[in-house]
């Protein structure tokens, strides 16, 4: 019986896991660096790149630098880059943003891999990127830098 329950839980978990290309962006409400609530609706009709990261994740910090450079080149009326940090320590997140000189939208879901958005998006590793078109449809998971740049140029 116990085994069946475990199997069922695992199964439901798998069903929930990771959004697929073609899916709509999951709705979320998260806090920004000033503790203001930010709703996912805010970015409607824009191309959205969501980047899950954490201050302690070295590869993510390297990625931040690339995103910072990329952010300078994009049309901010049409494209939104959203960083979602899974840091549990808010102060470390703020420090990392300052250090990496991030100017694009930064939100926090401070529960590590147990964070609601991490589960909604199906984030199993950091960094994780999700690229949505202007209709909020997922078009790529973990696209390469080149793929992102090419898509943004379109």
Partner 1 sequence: MKNITKLKTVVSLLLILGSSYTNAQITKAEIRATGLTCSMCSNAINKQLKSLTEVLNVETDLNTNTFTVTLKENNELNPKIFKDKVEKAGFFIGSLMITAKSEIISKNPYVVVNNKKSGVTETQFQVVDKGYVTDKEFKKLSKTYKDISTYVLNSEDDFHIKILN
Would you tell me which residues interact with partner 1 (CB under 8 A)?
A: 2, 6, 54, 56-60, 112-113, 123-127
Q: Minimum CB separation from partner 1 for residue 121, in Å?
A: 12
Q: 84 - beta bridge partners?
A: 52, 107
Q: Minimum CB separation from partner 1 for residue 90, in Å?
A: 14
Q: What angle do CA 130, 125, 112 make, to 5 degrees?
A: 100
Q: How far apart are CA 51 and CA 145, in angstroms?
A: 12
**85: enclosing H helix or E strand:** strand 79-85
Q: Minimum CB separation from partner 1 for residue 113, in Å?
A: 4
Eight-state DSSP code of residue 129? E
Q: Minimum CB separation from partner 1 for residue 141, in Å?
A: 15
* Pick 53 or 104: Cβ nearer partner 1: 53
Q: How far apart are CA 55 and CA 88, in angstroms?
A: 10
Residues 6+ apart with CB under 8 A from 3: none
* Pick 6 or 21: Cβ nearer partner 1: 6
Q: Minimum CB separation from partner 1 for residue 21, in Å?
A: 21
* Pick 47 or 123: Cβ nearer partner 1: 123
* Pick 17 or 27: Cβ nearer partner 1: 17
Residues 6+ apart with CB under 8 A from 108: 30, 31, 32, 33, 84, 85, 87, 90, 93
* Pick 42 or 59: Cβ nearer partner 1: 59
Q: 18 - beta bridge partners?
A: none
């Amino acid at each position: 019986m116990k085994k069946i329950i475990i199997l069922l839980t695992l199964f439901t978990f798998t069903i929930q896991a990771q959004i697929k290309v073609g899916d709509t962006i999951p709705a979320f409400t998260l806090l920004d660096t000033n503790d203001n609530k930010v709703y996912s609706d805010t970015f409607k009709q824009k191309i959205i790149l969501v980047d899950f990261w954490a201050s302690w994740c070295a590869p993510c910090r390297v990625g931040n630098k690339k995103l910072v450079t990329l952010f300078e080149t994009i049309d901010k009326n049409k494209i939104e880059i959203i960083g979602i940090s899974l840091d549990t320590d808010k102060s470390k997140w703020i420090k990392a943003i300052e250090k990496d000189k991030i100017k694009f939208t930064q939100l926090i879901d401070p529960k590590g891999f147990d964070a609601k958005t991490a589960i909604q998006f199906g984030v199993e590793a950091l960094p994780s990127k999700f690229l949505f078109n202007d209709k909020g449809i997922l078009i790529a998971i973990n696209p390469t830098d080149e793929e992102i740049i090419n898509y943004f140029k379109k």
